Amino acid sequence: MAKYNLIFFFLILVFTVRAQTGRISQKVTITSLDKETEVHTNDEGALQVNVSPKNIQKFKATGAVCYSDFGASGDGKHNDIDAIAATHAFANRYGLWVIADKGATYYIGGKERTAVIQTDTDFGTANFIIDDTEVQNRNAPVFEIRSSLASFKPEGVSALKRNQKKLDISFPSTCLITVTNAEVKHYIRYGLNQDNGSYQTDIFIVDKNGNVNIDAPIIWDFDKITDITALPVDEKTLHITGGRFTTIANKAESKYTYYARNMAIRRSNVIVDGLEHRITGEADHGAPYAGFISIMNCAYVTVKNTILTGHKTYRTIGSAGEPATMGSYDISVTRALNISFLNCSQTNDINDKRYWGVMGSNYCKNILYDSCTFSRFDAHKGVVNATIRNSVLGYMGINAIGSGILTIENSTIYGRNLVNLRSDYGSTWQGEFIIRNCIFVPGAGKSASAALINGSYSGQHDFGYTCYMPERITIENLKIDDARHPAGYRGVTVFSDFNPKRKDSTYLEKFPYRITKEVILRNVTTASGKALQLSDNKFMFRDVKVTGL
């Protein structure tokens, strides 16, 4: 037996997993000493996992591990996060499937510990209670779906041009490229949450020969690149299925201290199927959330058959020194390409104004909603190409800035406007809108005056880029349910009054706005019987070519 122990002493398998926070408490060390399988933490808080040789053989033979194999109680009372993290760390080491124990309820307290997922995982019908009432690190995800491939810094790229088709260097495989120019500021926000903008950034995909995937084109001219990162795109699709997650909401002060106790997806080619997330314990105050499903720095992610929950809306003092509502999300998508939400919904009423819009996004390309029922679609710092089809969107409607084509079809929209071009980022869309076979119910059926396309642009604020309205807008087979409307109602307009001060040629814009060139209307009807009008601002839209009005 002594000889046997000595052999395994020399065959110790040790590896370390460190979360992006870089904290010691996120490290996991795995050994295979000839003793009982156990999980504990050392004095620094790092996980120490020993798996007996007998259990290693058993787990490899079955191809799967369960949380109970590593000591999870599943009783809904004891904190199981260490056992959960250990299970995934071991599964990652041996390429094993992770299966939640049937009927288990896993309690996850506020301890800082991230379970890194790199293999297929079936949460099944198990329940996970995530208690945010006392949290050590609000920025540490509970689960992180992470690539096993390492990112690197490609050399030889010093500048880029909009719509550039090729980088003159080679790559080991298809890669996701993120570039930054810290000497240029974009998205210089205006309004209650004003700021000084963000570094110029872009994200795109190249093949091993450096050819840029034209479905997600380069959208900016980079005269200089101060940082560039390449992350190889995983070829194999990772599947995450099932799971009933409940967050016990934080009771923190209502200010912009976002909680990211979530499922962070940082790997390309992932399918999340059948997940449910609910929220309980929301009080009359609390800090906002940065998305239970948080998708960042990746491509080709599909979330389907999933139920999420809108967070309660809280108010604080914004950067302009005035009261402001805080965005709080159950879906967050940042620097991500080709992201799809299929047959997804939320637990609370999509027209209940007590709850914030369920989704927010930044720096994304090719986002799809198909057969979804959500309170809103939102693109903050630009989206390139977005499609909403066969869906129902609630009181917050469609809010976007960006470029490419925004397609809305076979959907019902309950927002104050059919599309709101976000004024805090310049009400800009460089491209076109295509809207087909939709129903628009202004103000969720309440008495309201409305415009199909809403925005605001004074021409006096520098957003860091030229601002555009959609060059062409095509609307066909649109039913406008404006049966309930205020006294003196004159009907729906195509455009709201984007600038009430711009009534004649004497108004000067420091930063000129590029106005829509063409609007095509086919079979647009109103329940009120009032004819559709172009805009209350006749001067501003005087040169728009309109067909079908």
For the cut 90, the answer to whether the pLDDT of residue 407 exceeds it is yes
For the cut 70, the answer to whether the pLDDT of residue 96 exceeds it is yes
Dihedrals phi, psi of 6, to nearest 5 degrees = -65, -40
Dihedrals phi, psi of 87, to nearest 5 degrees = -60, -50
| Location of structure tokens 């108004």 | 507
Q: What is the pLDDT of residues 195-223, one digit of tens each?
A: 999 999 999 999 999 999 999 999 999 99
Of the candidates 314, 259, 329, 327, the one whose C-alpha atom is nearest the C-alpha of residue 284 is 314
Q: What is the pLDDT of residues 158-205, one digit of tens each?
A: 999 999 999 999 999 999 999 999 999 999 999 999 999 999 999 999
Give the Cβ contact number of residue 290 at 10 Å. 23
For the cut 70, the answer to whether the pLDDT of residue 26 exceeds it is no
Are 184 and 200 contacting, i.e. CB atoms less than 8 angstroms apart? yes
Of the candidates 413, 477, 409, the one whose C-alpha atom is nearest the C-alpha of residue 451 is 413
> Beta strand 359-370 with 329-342: parallel, antiparallel or unpaired?
parallel
- Region 436-456: what's the mean pLDDT? 93
Give the Cβ contact number of residue 543 at 10 Å. 9
Q: Which amino acid is at 391?
A: S
Q: Which amino acid is at 5?
A: N
Share of the chain above pLDDT 70, in %: 95
For the cut 50, the answer to whether the pLDDT of residue 62 exceeds it is yes
Q: What angle do CA 419, 425, 427 make, to 5 degrees?
A: 40
Walk me through the domains of the chain, giving residue ranges and CATH numbers.
Answer: 2-131 (no CATH), 149-233 (no CATH), 234-414 (2.160.20), 416-549 (no CATH)
Q: How confident is residue 13, by pLDDT bands cut at 50, 70 and 90? A: very low
For the cut 70, the answer to whether the pLDDT of residue 460 exceeds it is yes
Query: How far lies 29's CA from each of 7, 15, 133, in Å?
Result: 19, 5, 29
Are 377 and 308 contacting, i.e. CB atoms less than 8 angstroms apart? no
- Region 395-420: what's the mean pLDDT? 97
Of the candidates 446, 473, 468, 456, the one whose C-alpha atom is nearest the C-alpha of residue 532 is 473
Name the DSSP class of 8.
Answer: H
- Region 72-95: what's the mean pLDDT? 97
Q: What is the pLDDT of residues 465-524, one digit of tens each?
A: 999 999 999 999 999 999 988 888 889 999 999 999 999 999 999 999 999 999 999 999
Ordered DSSP codes for 138-151: TTS-SEEEE-SSPP
3-state secondary structure of 491: coil
Confidence at residue 310, expressed as pLDDT on a 0 to 100 scale: 97
> Beta strand 359-370 with 315-317: parallel, antiparallel or unpaired?
unpaired
Contacts 24+ apart (CB under 8 A), 392-398: 392/350, 393/350, 394/349, 394/350, 394/351, 394/357, 394/444, 395/350, 395/351, 395/352, 395/353, 395/443, 395/444, 396/356, 396/357
Are 214 and 337 contacting, i.e. CB atoms less than 8 angstroms apart? no
What pTM did the predictor assign?
Answer: 0.94
Are 455 and 427 contacting, i.e. CB atoms less than 8 angstroms apart? yes
What mean pLDDT, rounded, does the chain reach?
Answer: 94
Cα–Cα dist 140/179, whole Å = 25
Structure tokens, 429? 């869309």
For the cut 50, the answer to whether the pLDDT of residue 18 exceeds it is no
3-state secondary structure of 450: coil
| β-strand partners of 307 | 276, 345
Residue 209, burial from CB neighbour count under 10 angstroms (0-12, 13-18, 19+): exposed
Q: What is the pLDDT of residues 338-386, one digit of tens each?
A: 999 999 999 999 999 999 999 999 999 999 999 999 999 999 999 999 9
Of the candidates 419, 424, 418, 428, the one whose C-alpha atom is nearest the C-alpha of residue 471 is 428
Name the DSSP class of 310.
Answer: P
Q: Among 16-25, 115-124, 262-271, which is the least confidently predicted range?
A: 16-25
Share of the chain above pLDDT 90, in %: 89
Question: Which residues make Cβ contacts (< 8 Å) with residue 52, sequence separation at least 6?
Answer: 32, 33, 34, 35, 36, 37
In angstroms, how far apart are the furthest CA atoms of the chain?
A: 95
Q: Which amino acid is at 388?
A: I
Structure tokens, 296? 């960042």
Cα–Cα dist 397/175, whole Å = 34
Query: How far lies 2's CA from each of 5, 8, 9, 12, in Å?
Result: 5, 10, 10, 15
- The Cβ-side half-sphere exposure at 134, using a 13 Å CA radius, reads 3
3-state secondary structure of 534: coil
Cα–Cα dist 438/435, whole Å = 7
Cα–Cα dist 363/295, whole Å = 12
Are 194 and 139 contacting, i.e. CB atoms less than 8 angstroms apart? no
Structure tokens, 118? 């790199």
Q: How confident is residue 304, by pLDDT bands cut at 50, 70 and 90? A: very high
3-state secondary structure of 88: helix
Query: How far lies 526's CA from each of 263, 439, 478, in Å?
Result: 43, 10, 9
* Sign, CA torsion 267/271/275/279: positive
Start-to-end CA distance of the chain, whole Å, equals 90
For the cut 60, the answer to whether the pLDDT of residue 8 exceeds it is no
Confidence at residue 447, expressed as pLDDT on a 0 to 100 scale: 83
Structure tokens, 472? 């062409």
Distance of CA 239 to the CA centre of its chain: 18
